[in-house]
A = this chain, B = another copy of it.
Amino acid sequence: MKERMAAYCAATEAYLQTCFEKSVPQKTLLEAMRYSLLAGGKRIRPVLVLEFCRISGGDWQKAMPFAAALEMVHTYSLIHDDLPCMDNDDYRRGRLTNHKVYGEATAVLAGDGLLTAAFETAASAEAAPETVARVVATLAGCAGAYGMVGGQQLDLEGEHKTCTAEEIHEIHRLKTGALISAACQMGVLAAGGDAEKLQAAKAYAESIGLAFQLRDDILDVTGDSVKLGKKTGMDTNKNTFVKLYGLERCEAMIDEETARAIDALRAFEDRQFLTDLAQYLATRDH
């Protein structure tokens, strides 16, 4: 997995480096957008786009704009999530959050700019117009009020009450899961994959999304804040899976979901990378 992962990440970084470089008067805005976009991160979502494109029979390099679009959406959501009126975080990925460096107003606009640029970037792909239209619809559907943004709202509302198991699952299915689902689906769409592959990609996404969030909640309790690049123990007022199920049950659920994700890959012939990725995400320490 390591080599291919490195190739995907390098291609993603190289592509993102070329974004928002035009010389214009609003250079501070572009700088703020690049500050967060190029702050590192695991680039899991672009990797999922590129690999699902490859194993669906497509040329993954042509899916780069879709991968970058997804990372822009992810990055914008972090900038807005960190704002004082939201989670009020000072650090993200080991660096000061966007509004701590550029001020709140520019941080709001940098997020808006990245979200908008995601769709422009997706539309710029060298792909059949049908593919572009489907990718845009999928990305917007998963990122919006019925997807990620809806999950952020539920997460906010959940801070003031004790959520049921169903509510906590819904929060994470939308807040984290929807964008991971978009990534996997967009890869298949980029390659023109059939409905069976699309369904398998969704199932894989759902399981690794849940496992990912379970691990995130565990790491907030047991993790190393240096490795994580953010403070731990921050979720004490939040409804987390650890609070709901306890550490042991969460670990068992991660194993179950990882097995389920790997099972979903049967629709694809070349599934080693995504098998390894599911296992890596399940056992990561940051």
Spell out A's residues near B (CB within 8 Å).
20, 22, 24-26, 28-30, 33, 76-77, 80, 83, 85-86, 103-106, 108-109, 111-113, 115-117, 119-120, 122-124, 128-130, 132-134, 136-137, 139-141, 143-146, 149-154, 156-157, 167, 170, 174
Contacts and interface: CB of A to CB of B under 8 A. Distances in A.
Contacts of A130: 129
A153 B80 CA distance: 16
A86 B144 CA distance: 23
Contacts of A136: 119-120, 122-123, 132-133, 136
Nearest to A140: B120
B124 A137 contact: yes
Contacts of A145: 20, 26, 29-30, 33, 113, 116-117
Contacts of A156: 105-106, 109
Contact of A116 (B22, B86, B115, B154): B115
Contact of A108 (B29, B108, B117): B108
A145 to B, nearest CB: 4
Nearest to A85: B104
Most B CB atoms within 10 A — which of A80, A140, A157, A167?
Answer: A140
A239 B143 CA distance: 36
Counting every copy of the chain, the complex holds 2
A105 B170 CA distance: 19
Nearest to A108: B80
Contact of A153 (B26, B120, B129, B167): B26
A28 to B, nearest CB: 7
Contacts of A20: 145
A185 to B, nearest CB: 14
B28 A153 contact: yes
A26 to B, nearest CB: 4
A150 B26 contact: yes
Most B CB atoms within 10 A — which of A116, A129, A132, A139?
Answer: A116
A227 B80 CA distance: 34
A16 B167 CA distance: 29
A109 B153 contact: yes
B25 A109 contact: no
A145 B76 CA distance: 13
A137 to B, nearest CB: 4
A140 B123 contact: yes
Contacts of A152: 109
A121 to B, nearest CB: 8
A119 B33 CA distance: 20
A251 to B, nearest CB: 28
Nearest to A124: B137
